[in-house]
């Protein structure tokens, strides 16, 4: 974002700085000012590019670990999943802090999270319904529909309102 803005400003300053070729004379203050601004923005862009490279490397590393975690959950047997989890847990000191904290939290209830591998009745993810309500409904309705009891109450009230509007009036 900032990098792109700087590039646009540099091109604008270069347009304004057009004139004689070669070194800028000491008397030409306007061209010197634009030239200094261009140098400053180029320097800032170099530091931004270096920062972007570092962040891309961090993202690549985090992606590698998230792929390992997702592979653990997609395992065919619980034994292989536990082996993969153990490998991650063995090198927890070398992991990035975000991944390490996730692994520590996961280690507390790893058995229950991997139950879906052995039992076919348990889905891999059970949040399809919650995802549907999260996307389609406003906040105050999301909380109502998340429980069976809330859903029953809501449906009963809708039937009562429909009866009042269509039958009783």
Instruction: DSSP letter for 96, please.
Output: -
Residue 89: predicted pLDDT: 92
pLDDT along the chain (169 residues), means of 10: 76 71 74 81 86 90 89 89 92 88 87 80 64 64 70 83 81
In this structure, the number of other CB atoms found within 10 A of the CB of residue 81 comes to: 21
148 alpha carbon, distance to own chain's centre: 31
pTM, to two decimals: 0.52
3-state secondary structure of 3: helix
Residue 131: predicted pLDDT: 63
Residue 138: predicted pLDDT: 67
């Amino acid at each position: 974002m900032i990098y792109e803005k700087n590039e646009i400003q540099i091109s604008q300053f270069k347009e304004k700085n057009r004139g004689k070729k070669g070194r800028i004379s000491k008397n030409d203050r306007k061209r010197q000012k634009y030239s200094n601004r261009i140098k400053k923005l180029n320097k800032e862009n170099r530091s931004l590019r270096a920062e972007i490279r570092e962040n891309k490397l961090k993202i690549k590393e985090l992606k590698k670990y998230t792929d390992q975690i997702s592979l653990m959950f997609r395992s065919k047997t619980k034994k292989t999943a536990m082996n993969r989890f153990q490998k991650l847990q063995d090198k927890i000191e070398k992991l990035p802090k975000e991944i390490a904290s996730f692994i520590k939290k996961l280690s507390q209830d790893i058995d229950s999270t991997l139950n879906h591998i052995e039992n076919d009745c348990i889905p891999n993810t059970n949040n399809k319904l919650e995802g549907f309500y999260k996307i389609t409904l406003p906040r105050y309705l999301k909380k109502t529909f998340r429980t069976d009891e809330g859903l029953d109450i809501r449906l009963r009230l809708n039937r009562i309102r429909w009866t009042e509007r269509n039958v009783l009036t």
